[in-house]
Amino acid sequence: MKAAPFAYVRPSTLPDAIAELASTDGGGKVIAGGQSLVPVLAMRLARPETLVDINSVAELDRIGTAGGYLEIGATVRQRRVERDPVSAAVPLLGMALPWVGHRELRSRGTVCGSLAHADPAAELPAVACCLNAELVVTGTGGARRVPAREFFSGAMTTALGPSDILTAARFPIAGRGEGFGFAEIARRHGDFALAGVAARVRVRGAETDAELTGFGVSDRPVTCSAGGELATALSECGGDVSRLASTLSGPLTAVAEELVDTDGDAHASRDYRRRLFRTLASRELSKAYERARRSAGEVNP
């Protein structure tokens, strides 16, 4: 199937791009890499009147660190983020990017495009929610920063208004004592996940807290605190951290039942996704804890 006819504009400044989008009165779509949008157009699941191509807006093509964040502009390709040494400041992002499609798709697709598309089984929205990244939304009223956990409101639905552009994503730089984990299960590498997990653990002296984000298990990325489950498992292990992954599975059962609320589909039932989530979460939370201890200097690297 081919896309329905549409107009095409390619402004060279951000104000012009916003003005072009606003002039469509909700009938426009922003395109940068197109790896999420073009398939939707080809299947005619979306029929915008106008595509606003932002690739000529130079100020959106930037990546760098400032104020404790890694900031990625709207036209920066995923592959560039994957290869740029500055991205090491956000380890969870580096863990997740190799799971996004294939290298050829990442060479064209953008980080902000994946976030704006808001597929509930996509990896980057889960990373943004786990870290509670700041998403910079610019519209006719100016720019505002939206916490990632408030940005996603449902499947393919976000806080973006009809004349808004997601101009940048700001991921917090990892600090001392932080560790991360990321994994997913898909039918084939590059497919959207049947279930996936992003984990973040912080160790500060005797205090340990943890957060888990599941994706592919609901209509949006779902995040919860897992510090209580981690503390319970550590107590049951009696100091034997090598048993942590297997011990965590029990405490995470209730978390899986709460977070995994999909009705299931032809590929996996709700119960199967809950088992996948519980297994992945216990494993990645355990890895994140070990990495956090190394980062805190409690064990040798």
* pLDDT tens sequence across 10-30: 999 999 999 999 999 999 999
Structure tokens at 57: 């807006």
The whole-number pLDDT of residue 71 equals 98
Give the count of beta carbons closer than 10 Å to the beta carbon of residue 88: 12
In contact, 219 and 120? CB cutoff 8 Å: yes
pLDDT for residue 100 is more than 90? yes
Closest-CA residue to 100 (of 129, 74, 85, 78): 78
DSSP conformational letter for 289: H
Which residue is it, tokens 């992945």?
280
When pLDDT is averaged across residues 245-270 and rounded to a whole number, the result is 91
Mean pLDDT of the chain: 94
pLDDT for residue 301 is more than 70? no
- In angstroms, the CA 157 to CA 220 distance is 9
Work out the percent of the chain whose per-residue pLDDT is above 90.
Answer: 85
- In angstroms, the CA 293 to CA 132 distance is 22
pLDDT grade for 50, boundaries at 50, 70 and 90? very high
* Residues sharing a CB contact under 8 Å with residue 243, sequence separation 6 or more, in sequence order: 237
- In angstroms, the CA 255 to CA 277 distance is 9
pLDDT grade for 235, boundaries at 50, 70 and 90? confident
- Phi, psi for residue 291 in degrees, rounded to 5: -65, -35
What pTM was estimated for this model as a whole?
Answer: 0.94
When pLDDT is averaged across residues 216-236 and rounded to a whole number, the result is 93
pLDDT for residue 1 is more than 80? no
